[in-house]
Structure 1
Amino acid sequence: MEGVDTPTSLGELASRAPQDAAARDDLLRRVRDLAVRYARVRLGRFGAEDLAQDVAQEVCMAVLTAVPTYEERGLPFEAFVYRITARKVADVQRAAMRGPTPVGDVPDRVDEAPTPEAAAVVRDEAATALSLMRRLPDAQREILILRVAVGLSTEETADALGMSTGAVRVAQHRALGRLRTMIAELEAGDVA
């Protein structure tokens, strides 16, 4: 980037964002990416893409509002973003459970999205995966979501959850082992 040394952490960007438009823009881009990935996973059964985009926008607005007065309290900025995103996702899940949402106008052209059958297969596979993940302890499930779906590193996940990197690695290993066992049982017909 034309000789500019880009900060690597969200915390560095957050500290510069109130005075530096480029840092603010980079911070919001990275926060949005994290929020979209996390929300897609957590909102899969509710029509993830549109809702994930909405959540990401709300997270960005919350971060933008909070940055001028944000004070570090021993946790990385990623943990702050994770808490905001988790709360926004929970709000969307509660709203989705309350009832259907109205749709826009009837489209003018053919929908080139996957067929209903293909979408049903993907939803069924995703529902199976989410069902198996729900059987994991909460901490293991969150670690898998942050590591696999959101794409955080072990260190970022540890910071976001307030754990050591070793604890994250052990919990991830146990969670993946348990998922393998559950999938094998499912394929063998031992689990309903």
Structure 2
Amino acid sequence: MSLVQLEAPIGAAGVQELRALVPAARQGEERASSELLVQVHRIAHRYARARLGTYPSAIEVSDDVAQEVCLGVLRALPRYEERGLPFEAFVYRIAARKVADAQRAFAHGPVTVDHAASDLFDEPVDSHEHDVVARDEASRAWVLMESLPPRQREVLVLRVAVGMSAQETADALGMTAVSVRVTQMRALRELRRRWAEGSPR
């Protein structure tokens, strides 16, 4: 599995299904809770992979973060009240905190070796040349993404990597759909400029 391969976004139908499960899950209905956590895990895993894609052992850490998000949602679910924000915004906020925790752990913890990536050099160069170039470009793209202002970076992650609509992103970030689109356009323009210059700044 490559570092940039992600699960498919849940889409509008998935968002509606997620929202429909919340009341029954809050009441403790086991089937609804189970289905809700499957959807939450999918959203959280996709978000974590998008944010942690360049870190060592990103796949494993993203799995751990997604599990932590599920636990956080499960603990907070009985107290959850929709206060003008949809449930996926609630999930996103928990996920953002868990990803930040993982990023802090990377900054302060020991460096781990990604054995899957190091296995790349055990095979002939011809068979993996395309993969190496793709990983190099993906790594460069992540560096450029991380150099964007936080609001632009979050909009791009939610819109492009997570697959949220402009309105869903707006709800999650407390913006309007129009401002999400404008922010996304500016962020993409800035990424194109930086990519062409070969500079993260």
Asked if these proteins are the same fold (TM beyond 0.5), I'd say yes
Match of 1:115 in 2: 120
Higher mean C-alpha displacement, 24-33 vs 126-135: 126-135
Q: Quick one: structure 1 residues 176 and 86, their matched pair in 2 at CA, closer, same or farther if it must change by over 3 Å?
A: same
**TM-score, normalising length: structure 2:** 0.76
Return 5+ residue gaps in structure 2 as ranges: 1-13
Match of 2:24 in 1: 16
Q: Distance in 2 between matches of 1:7 and 1:145?
A: 17
Pairwise CA distance, 1:157? 0.8
- What is the number of equivalent residue pairs in this alignment? 177
1:66 aligns with 2:76: yes
Name the Cα RMSD after superposition: 2.7
Q: After TM superposition, list the pairs within 5 Å mapping 1:45-60 onto structure 2.
A: 45-46=54-55, 47-60=57-70
Q: Distance in 2 between matches of 1:72 and 1:185?
A: 45
Q: Which of 88, 92, 107 is residue 78 of structure 1 equivalent to? A: 88
Query: Could you say which structure has the greater relative contact order, defined with CA pairs below 8 angstroms and 6 or more residues apart?
Result: 2
Query: AA paired with 2:43?
Result: L
Among all aligned residue pairs of Structure 1 and Structure 2, give the percentage whose two residues are the same amino acid: 53
Q: Which of 124, 134, 139 is residue 146 of structure 2 equivalent to? A: 134
Match of 2:10 in 1: none
Query: AA paired with 1:89?
Result: V
Return 5+ residue gaps in structure 1 as ranges: 1-5
1:152 aligns with 2:167: no
Q: Quick one: structure 1 residues 7 and 170, their matched pair in 2 at CA, closer, same or farther if it must change by over 3 Å?
A: closer
User: Once the two structures are superposed, what CA deviation does each residue of 1:131-166 show, in whole Å capped at 9, x if it has no partner?
Assistant: 211232211111000111111111211111111111
Which has the larger Rg? 1
Please say if residues 41 and 48 of structure 1, whose CA atoms lie closer than 8 Å, have aligned partners that are also in contact: no
Q: Distance in 2 between matches of 1:134 and 1:99?
A: 20
Match of 1:172 in 2: 184
Please say if residues 145 and 191 of structure 2, whose CA atoms lie closer than 8 Å, have aligned partners that are also in contact: yes
- More helix by proportion, 1 or 2? 2
Pairwise CA distance, 1:82? 0.9
